[in-house]
Amino acid sequence: MKMTISEKILAAHCGREKVAPGDLINARVDIALGNDITAPIAIKEFEKSGAQKVFDKEKIVLVPDHFTPNKDILSAEHAKVLREFAHKHEITHYYELGRMGVEHALLPEQGVVGPGDLIIGADSHTCTYGALGAFATGVGSTDLAAAFITGEVWFKVPSTILFNYFGKRNKWVGGKDLILYSIGKTGVDGASYQSMEFVGETIDDLEIDGRLTMANMAIEAGAKNGIFHVDQVTENYVKGRAKRPYKIFKSDPDAEYAKKYEFDCSQIDPQIAFPHSPENTKSVTEATDISIDQVVIGSCTNGRYSDLLESAQVLKGKKVNKNVRLIVIPATQQIYKQAMKDGLFDIFLDAEASISTPTCGPCLGGHMGVLAKGERAVATTNRNFIGRMGHPKSEIYLSNPAVAAASAVLGRIAHPEEVAGK
């Protein structure tokens, strides 16, 4: 029996030669990740179990990023739980304010995750690391607690859907547009508990940041994980970063897939996901008469350096519309420093944007940009559910960074060409 890349990684981590969709397995994990919302619950269960030590202090990662800098007493208490647990168990990969970043941007940047890994995190967007050829997925806090103790987690092996992208991308079309377009075709439950495997000539030409964005949003199609094959682009990114040796897996040419999609990327425009679902996607050209109140450029989906650079290219020499608040959030300290060094901050500040320290903040309606009743936002984040960024009667439109920047300038949803040209 031939296997997909996801099946091969799972087989390798449960000590079997082969696994098949539907198999129930116990697998060892390479990384177990928690943040300031989910890890306190896992830590409580860990302590309730009577466990005295973690399975491996090198393989647990704790990143307080959702409500940091702490917005209130409760969020400060949650962060304190992580801090004390990390110190008590001498957790190697504990990243606090000043050293932290948005977790799913931080871990690849720091080389904590890599090809062939099996990664779990008590956060649904843990699937981001599939961009590096890893099997990465979100779990519940109690599963995370069990992994803290045993180093293992159980899975039902998912079947795999193959997504083949071909054709040359149009200008201003990136990974965010490809994944929004794909979710628009599959629906938010179109890949429920399945693996989304991304291949094709367009993917071969896509930079690692775009792949991270696509894998990040696999969960928005209901997927268990999203995954890319390791190529030279991946290896160039991983080499010099990887904290551990890694192993490369590839799908067999005649592996079985539950379903296959093919998309001609030359026909894809920059996309907008209308409220209140990531599947409600349209071309940005169908949305240019919608006025907005706020723009957020950042998050684990689109807060990397290339995202900030793309935004700056649109914003250079322009001013944010007087009726719009533009919030720019570099996803890590390293990205923050590089953007400042390269003059991107000057462009943002001259445009009258606000720049934040790394945080998830407004993405989940936590702080640093919560929406009021009736307000509309364009955001480079990953979800636009009712009440996601604030009031239940606010609206969120998901886009790539260039569309977000152009919209901030014109005060309405806009194609980047309207501001920066073709």
Reported as a single tens digit per residue, the pLDDT across 321-332 is 999 999 999 999
- Give domain limits for the chain: 5-263, 270-416
Strand partners, 396: 377
Structure tokens at 373: 């009743």
CA dist., res. 417 & res. 270, Å (int): 11
Q: Which secondary-structure segment (H or E) carries 25? A: strand 24-28
CATH 3.30.499.10 is the classification of domain 270-416: yes
Give the angle 198-201-205 at the CA atoms, nearest 5°. Answer: 90
CATH 3.30.499.10 is the classification of domain 5-263: yes
Measure Cα distances from 58 to 86, 102, 119, 244 in Å. 11, 20, 13, 10
Q: Taking 80 as the threshold, does the pLDDT of residue 411 lie above it?
A: yes
| 66-84 tens-digit pLDDT | 999 999 999 999 999 999 9
Structure tokens at 262: 């093919």
Banded pLDDT at 98 (limits 50, 70, 90):
confident
Banded pLDDT at 422 (limits 50, 70, 90):
low
The residue-averaged pLDDT of 113-140 equals: 98
Instruction: Give the phi and the psi of residue 364 in degrees, each rounded to 5.
Output: -105, 20
| 394-408 tens-digit pLDDT | 999 999 999 999 999
CA contacts within 13 A on the Cβ side of 335: 31
pLDDT at 24: 98
Instruction: Give which of 11, 34, 12 is closest to 148, Cα–Cα.
Output: 34
pLDDT at 334: 97
Q: Taking 80 as the threshold, does the pLDDT of residue 1 lie above it?
A: no
Strands 294-297 and 325-328: parallel
pTM exceeds 0.75, yes or no: yes
What percent of the chain has pLDDT above 90?
97
Strand partners, 166: 264
Establish whether domains 5-263 and 270-416 are of one fold: yes
Burial 115-152 (b: 16+ CB within 10 A, else e): bbbbbbbbbbbbbbbbbbbbbbbbbebebbbbbbbebb
Cβ-based burial of 248 (10 A; exposed 0-12, middle 13-18, buried ≥19): middle
pLDDT at 274: 97
Burial 17-51 (b: 16+ CB within 10 A, else e): eebebeeebebbbbbbbbbbbbbbbbbebbeeeee
pLDDT at 154: 95
pLDDT at 288: 79
Q: Taking 80 as the threshold, does the pLDDT of residue 104 lie above it?
A: yes
Strand partners, 138: 121
CA dist., res. 226 & res. 119, Å (int): 12
What percent of the chain has pLDDT above 70?
100
pLDDT at 420: 86
CA dist., res. 226 & res. 215, Å (int): 5
Cα torsion through 26, 243, 125, 165, rounded to 10: -100
The residue-averaged pLDDT of 14-21 equals: 96
CA dist., res. 185 & res. 343, Å (int): 39
CA dist., res. 416 & res. 402, Å (int): 6
